Amino acid sequence: MTPSQNIKTFLEAGPEYLPSVSVDCVIFGFHERQLKVLLLEFKHTKAFALPGGFVFKEESADEAATRILWERTGVKDIYLEQFHTFGEQNRGNWDVHKATMSSHGFELETNHWLLQRFISIGYYALVDFSKVIPTPDIFSDIGGWHDIHQIPTLILDHNRIVEKALSTLRLMLDYKLVGFNLLSETFTMNELQSLYETILDKKLLRANFQRKMLSMEILERVEKKFSGKAHKPPYIYRIKKTT
């Protein structure tokens, strides 16, 4: 199928989706001590947006989010949580969509389903940065990973969605033990701490952080790493299998 045929198929798939409902995903990753968000960039218009999509009539909203996430990252079994639903009136009026489609030779009528008002259910995902293979959708190029402090201007209310996702993540961090999902399967205490420090945007005392994490009894030591550096090598931890 040519890209153009893909788009045609998509534009005609309106009736398969639940009308008025969309899903937007804030995909968090952690790399080089930075908390990052995966964005898409619409072709031609160069507008940035969150990865999103629509809900098939034969799937739940959660399933839709999981599917969208998988399509954009190649990863299944992702930690995923709904955090807020955005129902403002000004959601819709997708000049970007119109322009993008136009550039592909599709002129959308003003009452086309893609240009209607949508409610958006917001999900945030915590992924292992190293496992993700960003994959654009048919409208978009890969927008890449962006540091949480340097998110460009996004379409619609997507900047607000990112803000809300971040504040929810911060709340959850010391309520649920959730941060691990952003690291690879094994990690050092230092990596875990710098993850927490990045998300919470404040320094933590090493000694106390270590005690707190270990006191929860969900970490187990794997082995020592001999990093080749001139100091005591750290333990490697992983999450206990709770079987």
Partner DNA sequence: TCAAAAGTGTTTTTTTTACACCCATGG
Partner DNA sequence: CCATGGGTGTAAAAAAAACACTTTTGA
Instruction: Tell me the C-alpha distance between 69 and 146, whole Å.
Output: 17
Size of the residue set binding a copy of itself (CB under 8 A): 23
With respect to a copy of itself, which residue has the nearer C-beta, 88 or 95? 88
Cβ atoms of 220 and 55 closer than 8 Å = no
With respect to DNA, which residue has the nearer C-beta, 57 or 225? 225
Residue 241 touches which of a copy of itself, DNA, none (CB < 5 to 8 A by kind)? none
With respect to DNA, which residue has the nearer C-beta, 212 or 240? 212
Size of the residue set binding DNA (CB under 7 A): 21
174 binds a copy of itself (CB under 8 A): no
Helical axes 189-200 vs 206-215, angle rounded to 10°: 100
Specify the amino acid at residue 65: A
With respect to DNA, which residue has the nearer C-beta, 104 or 238? 238
Task: Return the residues of window 103-132 that contact a copy of itself according to CB under 8 A.
Answer: 117, 119, 121
Stretch of residues binding a copy of itself (CB under 8 A), selected from 87-95, 186-194, 206-214, 219-227:
87-95
Kindly provide the b/e burial profile for residues 106-136, where b requires at least 16 CB atoms within 10 angstroms of the residue's own CB.
bebeeebbbbeebebbbbbbbbbbeebebeb
57 binds a copy of itself (CB under 8 A): yes
With respect to a copy of itself, which residue has the nearer C-beta, 65 or 195? 65
When binding is defined by CB under 7 A, the residue of 5, 89, 202, 207 that contacts DNA is 207
46 binds DNA (CB under 7 A): no
Cβ atoms of 51 and 137 closer than 8 Å = yes
Handedness of CA 208, 243, 186, 72 (dihedral sign): negative
Contact characters 184-203, DNA, x per CB under 7 A: ----xxx-------------
- Rounded to a whole number of angstroms, the minimum distance from the CB of residue 229 to DNA is 6
Instruction: Tell me the C-alpha distance between 93 and 201, whole Å.
Output: 35
With respect to DNA, which residue has the nearer C-beta, 68 or 182? 182
Element (H, E) at 208: helix 206-215
Residue 240 touches which of a copy of itself, DNA, none (CB < 5 to 8 A by kind)? none
Instruction: Tell me the C-alpha distance between 209 and 199, whole Å.
Output: 14
226 binds DNA (CB under 7 A): yes
93 binds a copy of itself (CB under 8 A): no
DSSP string, 142-175: EEEEEEGGG---BSTTHHHHHHHHHHHHHHHHTT
Cβ atoms of 25 and 161 closer than 8 Å = no
When binding is defined by CB under 7 A, the residue of 76, 149, 231, 241 that contacts DNA is 231
